[in-house]
Chain A
Amino acid sequence: MQKIDYTKYKLKTKIEILEMLTGHKRVYILSCNKCFNEFTLDVEPETAELNKTLNEAGKTTIGFMALDFLCNKYLTEKALNNAKKDIEEADAVAVISCGVGVQTIAELLNIPVITMCDTVNQGGYHGISLNPEKCGACGECYLSVTGGICPVVDCSKGLINGACGGAKNGKCEVSKEKECAWENIFRRLAGQNRQNILIEQQPKLRNYNLNSVDFVETYVKSVQAKRNEGFYGGIYPEERKEFTSKMAVEKIAAPDLVYIPLQQHAGAVCEPLVKKGDKVKAGQKIGDSKALVSAFIHSSVSGEVISVESKKHPLLPFPVPTIIIKNDKKDEKDTSILPKGTIDTIKKEDILTVVKEAGIVGMGGAQFPTHIKLNSSKPVDTVLLNGCECEPLLNADQRLMVEQPEKIITGLRLLMKATGTTKGIIAVEDNKPEAFETLKKYIPEGSGVELLQVKTKYPEGAERMLIKRVLNREVPRGGLPLDVGVLVNNIGTAAAVYDAVYSGLPLIKRVITVAGTGVSKPGNYEIPIGMLISDIVKICGIQIPVNFELKMGGAIMGFPQDDLEVPVIKGTNGIIVVMKKDDLNEEPCIKCGRCVNVCPMELKPHKLVHYAKAENWDKSEKDGVLNCIECGCCEDICSSKSRMVEIFRKSKKMVRERKK
């Protein structure tokens, strides 16, 4: 079908422009990178044209700025603040954009803002694909009785009770190019043998008062508030947590064989401490590394090492050295597993050692070694415990909070003690009231631990978003939470810290939610590290339906697993089965702006896609692709079905490689 170009505005004539700029000599030009084209140009031509007009008229252009989506008040305000000094030098700001952009700028600046364009309606709607179907948004849809052809827009007179009699040879009286909508309606209904409906229906009257001012005001405000609530952007995916939210954690016995990769953390891969034929105990250290950033690896079972070889890893794209152990089912514990103290008795420095020895990493998925975070030289004033679990389907953290509140609170206090901070906050999303209420009961007075309920929004569990929401601090781009004095940890991590101190148990098991379509025994399970997904599939009776896929992690950020012969690792919080993304082709970006609206890192994802396609890694880097947290909000909302996360992973890799 012929795609149409919704050219929304055009530069006014020179005469008009100069008339409006009478009395303004020094002009700053602000232009919007158009949203109505398919994305082809980096620089829109109007700015140069306007600049020429102004210069010829003896005016001084004191600066330019081109922004994406001027109408996005939040991002535009930030950009304007950065250029404030220059802009304030001007007598007037000349804006090249549609009317919404001009008004947004006028609201934000205290100098005359002058429009340079006329906004024109080409029919159709920006942001709803580029096809010519139109909707009059009349608020009382007639399409049901008009065969799906809209009389409000397709009839020149917007008649809703039938043809006017002005059509000749099927063409409207207004133009011979235009078909008579009512003739089309009649023809279609006759084809369905429903033409009588036209006679049966009562005469209709339009109600022009449906979209009242009050309704619009209330609606707009509520959506805007939601968009900026706590942190910028984000989405509200279907939660689907009810499948397992009430199911208590069940232990799954260790299988015959465990596959323990020597890399289950950010940083350097570990060296094996055992070889084929060695006997190992549960909790015995079997891998370590002298590298600055790494985390020790322990056996989750007692038995015999049958092989150390490179195996497929669930997250990494290359094989990783893996220790395969035959379980002797005796579950003999390593002698090192002894209580190390309590919150009151253990020394600050010892906590760090215990955490390091236990191989604890961030259990929310990022798997950053916890002891490195604890050992930072940067001052920390708050330890934030992330009880958001904002991914759909997952309940592992929620169950821990409900079932082992004391462990979590004490784990947090241990983390506070280790960093010498007096303030700890547990942030729980408001879709987990049970967890919130339970924790509330167990927080000891005077412990410095606060409990906070936050409104649910994805990706609140990402540390930057959580910090913004809870403490209203902004982690600088390229920076870490520690740069703003915050240490963020996962619920599971806090529980692991507790275990390491109170029983001396290293990180060899974890709670995982198994859920989704085709899972006959969904639940929250305590699973030994190294257990193969294929074993879990058997135990939980998982049958993956056609068009569905199994993911490790959450529904949005999780990694699809084609090969199920890969093990559970320290960061695995879920094994879920979800519908595959539509097998729809990626279409050209129509600059609808949705991705910019939802990106919590305040990036311009559509541009990053454009740069990636052009293999322009300079611009990719400049526009901040390295800051992408791969949360997938942009991809979720993309109306052109761009596989953005995949594209950005590649971009990041390319940018990093070039740096080296």
Chain B
Amino acid sequence: MHFTELTKMGKFVITSELGPPKGFHIEKALHEAELVWPHVHAINVTDNQSSVMRLSGLAMCKVLKDKNIEPVFQVTCRDRNRLALQSDILSAALFGIDNLLLLTGDHTTLGDHKDAKPVFDLDSVSLAYMVKHLEEGKDLAGNALDGEPPKFCKGAVVSPCAEPLEPQLFKMEKKIKAGIQFFQTQAVYEADKFEKFMKRVKEFGVPVYVGIVVLKSVGMARFMNENVAGINVPDNIIEELKKDKEKTKSGQTGIEISARLIKELKPLCQGVHLMPLGWDDKVPEILKLSGIIAEKG
């Protein structure tokens, strides 16, 4: 199932993110995925997220696919050169994985193997360009692929609240040119900024699925403001989290904030992408509170 089809059908696309385990026991991750699945159209599987080594995203995607859960295979350029990237993406096609999210990837120094060699043979744009080549039946070096070429729905990311925004838009355009068909965004907490962003990108005619990161605490909000690119949690939200310490412990305030944001942003875009960062069990409640349902089929 290609996302873009859903969007064409006028459906509001809902996705959530899942990180594979550090180890090969996938029961817990699978349980979380099964919990979330009834409420979403697809589940993104991250690729050594934050440069922390984990189980392969491709393997996790295959497991989900086997359980009839629709995966989005996230691919970064940090750990593989163009040979490995192409062969993994062809493998994804073999497993019937339809949706890809193509990213550059965090730098190795941010993760748990700081000494590792950062690859970055390609970047998000050239990666998309490479997939387009594969879809045209050629590899990046121009050699023909055997048989029918694969067909994917290719996504990428963008930071709507980044400052300055222009370099992001500039790259977004390049990504579209390289064949990107949808965008999932970095977490958004500022509706006004997002609105402005959507006005700017309307002309591109590509669906945008807004990113929501569930706030777990004041500390987390502050940390993101300080360290995470493209994210700014406004003061009023921080105040709200502060006031309700009791509830926040249970995650209630964060859930409410997320739901409210979704309601607010829904009219502006074509879908929502939840990043629960381990709080996968809260996803159903957030979606329920925000009043959106994943219309499938």
Physical interaction between A and B? yes
A residues with a Cβ closer than 8 A to B are: 205-210, 212
Q: How far is the CA of A208 from the CA of B117 in the complex (A)?
A: 5
**B114 on the interface (CB 8 Å rule)?**
yes
In the complex, how many residue pairs between chain A and chain B have their CB atoms under 8 Å apart? 16
Question: Main secondary structure on chain A at its contact with chain B?
Answer: loop
**Judging by beta carbons under 8 Å apart, are A206 and B115 in contact?**
yes
- Interface flags, B91-115, vs A, CB<8A=1, else 0: 0000000000000000011000011
Among all A-B residue pairs, the 8 with the closest Cβ atoms: A207-B115, A208-B117, A209-B114, A209-B115, A209-B109, A208-B115, A208-B116, A206-B117
Q: What is the number of residues of chain B that contact chain A, defined by CB distance less than 8 Å?
A: 7
- Give 16 CB contacts A-B under 8 Å: A205-B115, A206-B115, A206-B117, A207-B115, A208-B108, A208-B115, A208-B116, A208-B117, A208-B118, A209-B108, A209-B109, A209-B114, A209-B115, A209-B116, A210-B115, A212-B109
Shortest Cβ distance from A273 into chain B, in angstroms?
A: 80
Residues in A with CB closer than 8 Å to B114 are 209
Shortest Cβ distance from B131 into chain A, in angstroms?
A: 27
Q: How far is the CA of A209 from the CA of B107 in the complex (A)?
A: 11
Residues in B with CB closer than 8 Å to A206 are 115, 117
Shortest Cβ distance from B4 into chain A, in angstroms?
A: 35
Nearest chain B residue, comparing its CB with the CB of A206: B117
Q: How far is the CA of A525 from the CA of B117 in the complex (A)?
A: 62
Shortest Cβ distance from B6 into chain A, in angstroms?
A: 41
8 Å CB interface, B243-273 against A: none
Nearest chain A residue, comparing its CB with the CB of B109: A209
User: Which residue, of A205, A208, A212, has the highest number of chain B Cβ atoms within 10 A?
Assistant: A208
Residues in B with CB closer than 8 Å to A205 are 115
Shortest Cβ distance from B227 into chain A, in angstroms?
A: 16
Q: How far is the CA of A209 from the CA of B108 in the complex (A)?
A: 9
Shortest Cβ distance from B21 into chain A, in angstroms?
A: 24
Shortest Cβ distance from B70 into chain A, in angstroms?
A: 37
Q: How far is the CA of A212 from the CA of B118 in the complex (A)?
A: 13
Q: How far is the CA of A392 from the CA of B117 in the complex (A)?
A: 46
Nearest chain A residue, comparing its CB with the CB of B114: A209
Shortest Cβ distance from B112 into chain A, in angstroms?
A: 12
8 Å CB interface, B101-155 against A: 108-109, 114-118
User: Which residue, of B108, B116, B118, has the highest number of chain A Cβ atoms within 10 A?
Assistant: B116
Q: How far is the CA of A283 from the CA of B108 in the complex (A)?
A: 78
Q: How far is the CA of A206 from the CA of B117 in the complex (A)?
A: 8
With A209-B108, A209-B114, A209-B115 known, 13 other A-B pairs at CB within 8 A are: A205-B115, A206-B115, A206-B117, A207-B115, A208-B108, A208-B115, A208-B116, A208-B117, A208-B118, A209-B109, A209-B116, A210-B115, A212-B109
Residues in A with CB closer than 8 Å to B118 are 208
Q: How far is the CA of A633 from the CA of B234 in the complex (A)?
A: 58
Residues in B with CB closer than 8 Å to A209 are 108-109, 114-116
Nearest chain A residue, comparing its CB with the CB of B116: A208
Q: How far is the CA of A207 from the CA of B113 in the complex (A)?
A: 10
Shortest Cβ distance from B138 into chain A, in angstroms?
A: 25
Residues in B with CB closer than 8 Å to A212 are 109
Shortest Cβ distance from A195 into chain B, in angstroms?
A: 28
Shortest Cβ distance from B48 into chain A, in angstroms?
A: 16
Q: How far is the CA of A212 from the CA of B107 in the complex (A)?
A: 12
Q: How far is the CA of A206 from the CA of B108 in the complex (A)?
A: 14
